[in-house]
């Protein structure tokens, strides 16, 4: 029985691979479709709680800014990544002036914290870089990839427990490992991938690629001794600014006239 379980665990890992939009091999034990389903459940639960706490912002000026910039990025995303055409694109603007953060789940469900605007004084171009980066995480299936890493960790713990005849402890360890893994940030490789894809989205949507550099400079300066939440969940290599700068010439060639993309409808969660 022990050998059978270990064999099944090993076989589970064999076919689980995919390729990201940049050609990188990805571990995929969870399909992108399953990640979208699970993300929707989590998003609806989060939004419901925010609504009960009266944390959802509906200020017309901020809503228009977020909807317009996100809408242009979604237009480009749909053009370049047809699988996202039928995603339920939406943004929750969260009233939290101290939190500098934003995210996008699998399936196009996003959130923006008011601390981004209050603390960083973002230009439209800088905000487009943030949202382009977050949308790219979803387009590149980073949610499914991170969930898969958690599952692989869990399976490894289970295998150790089975091998040592301690299956009860193994299952408890697997559950804890999965929770920890799901709460960990994306890998640096995934972050750099989102940097590149996000700059492309923002540039094709009509926003300045240079803003990626000024954005990260602002991020680095904000928060004093306590880094903003965005940096804690978005690991940055020391040469990130140089890598971003090295992409600018390529990006300018994508949209030399800076033509603005049409605004796709994006639901602002009220």
Check residue 86 and report its DSSP letter. T
| pLDDT at residue number 68 | 98
Instruction: For residues 268 and 58, give the distance between their C-alpha atoms in angstroms, rounded to a whole number.
Output: 8
How much is the pLDDT for 22?
A: 60
- The structural domains of the chain, with segments of one domain joined by +, span 32-143+185-269
The reported pLDDT for the residue numbered 221 is 83
Q: Residue 236: count other Cβ atoms within 10 Å of its Cβ.
A: 18
CA distance 147 to 154: 11
134 in catalytic set: yes
Question: Using alpha carbons only, what angle is made at residue 141 by residues 230 and 78, rounded to the nearest 5 degrees?
Answer: 95
Name beta bridge partners: 112. 93, 102
Q: Which residues contact 214 (CB under 8 A, 6 or more apart)?
A: 123, 126
Q: What are residue 63's DSSP bridge partners?
A: none
From the CA atom positions of the chain, what is the Rg in Å?
Answer: 20
Give the SS3 label for residue 38. helix
Whole-angstrom distance between the N-terminal and C-terminal Cα of the chain? 53
Rounded to whole angstroms, the Cα distance separating 64 from 191 reads 28
Q: Which of 38, 98, 134, 191 is catalytic?
A: 134
* Torsion angle in degrees (nearest 10) through CA of 100, 219, 74, 123: 100
How far is 268 from 6, CA to CA, in rounded Å? 47
Tokens linked to 159: 């295998």
Q: What is the pLDDT of residue 209?
A: 97
DSSP state letters, 49-75: HHHHTT-B---HHHHHHHHHHHHHHHH
Q: Is 30 helix (H, G, I), strand (E, B) or coil?
A: coil
Strand partners, 56: 94
pTM tops 0.85: no
The pLDDT value recorded for residue 80 is 96
Q: Are 217 and 241 in contact (CB under 8 A)?
A: yes
Helices (H), the chain: 2-13, 32-52, 60-80, 115-120, 124-139, 142-163, 167-183, 188-204, 211-221, 229-233, 240-254
- Please report the pLDDT score of residue 230 as a whole number: 75
Per run of 10 residues, the mean pLDDT along the chain (length 270 residues) is 46 53 65 82 91 95 98 98 95 95 92 95 97 94 72 50 41 35 59 92 98 90 66 68 92 96 96
Q: Checking DSSP bridges between strand 17-19 and strand 25-27, what pairing results, if any?
A: antiparallel
pLDDT value at residue 150 = 66
Backbone φ, ψ for residue 31 (5° rounding) = -70, 155
- Specify the pLDDT at position 76: 98
Kindly report the length of the chain.
270
The alpha carbon of residue 43 and the mean position of all alpha carbons in its chain are separated, in whole angstroms, by 13
């Amino acid at each position: 029985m022990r050998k059978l379980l270990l064999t099944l665990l090993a076989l589970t890992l064999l076919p689980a691979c995919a390729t990201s939009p940049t050609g990188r091999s990805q571990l995929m034990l969870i399909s992108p479709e399953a990640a979208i389903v699970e993300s929707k459940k989590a998003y609806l639960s989060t939004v419901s709680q925010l609504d009960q706490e009266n944390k959802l912002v509906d200020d017309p000026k901020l809503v228009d800014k977020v909807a317009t910039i996100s809408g242009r990025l979604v237009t480009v995303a749909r053009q370049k990544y047809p699988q996202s055409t039928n995603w339920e694109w939406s943004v929750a603007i969260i009233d939290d002036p101290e939190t500098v953060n934003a995210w996008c789940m699998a399936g196009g469900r996003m959130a923006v914290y008011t601390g981004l605007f209050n603390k960083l004084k973002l230009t439209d171009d800088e905000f487009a870089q943030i949202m382009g980066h977050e949308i790219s995480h979803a387009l590149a299936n980073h949610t499914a990839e991170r969930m898969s890493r958690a599952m692989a960790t869990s399976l490894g713990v289970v295998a150790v427990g089975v091998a040592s005849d301690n299956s009860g402890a193994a299952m408890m360890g697997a559950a804890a490992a999965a929770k920890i893994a799901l709460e960990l940030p994306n890998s640096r490789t995934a972050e750099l991938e989102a940097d590149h894809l996000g700059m492309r989205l923002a540039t094709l949507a009509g926003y300045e690629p240079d803003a990626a550099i000024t954005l990260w400079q602002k991020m680095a300066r904000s928060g004093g001794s306590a880094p903003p939440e965005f940096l804690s969940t978005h690991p940055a290599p020391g040469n990130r600014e140089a890598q971003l700068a090295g992409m600018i010439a390529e990006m300018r060639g994508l949209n030399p006239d800076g033509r603005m993309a049409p605004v796709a409808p994006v639901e602002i969660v009220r």
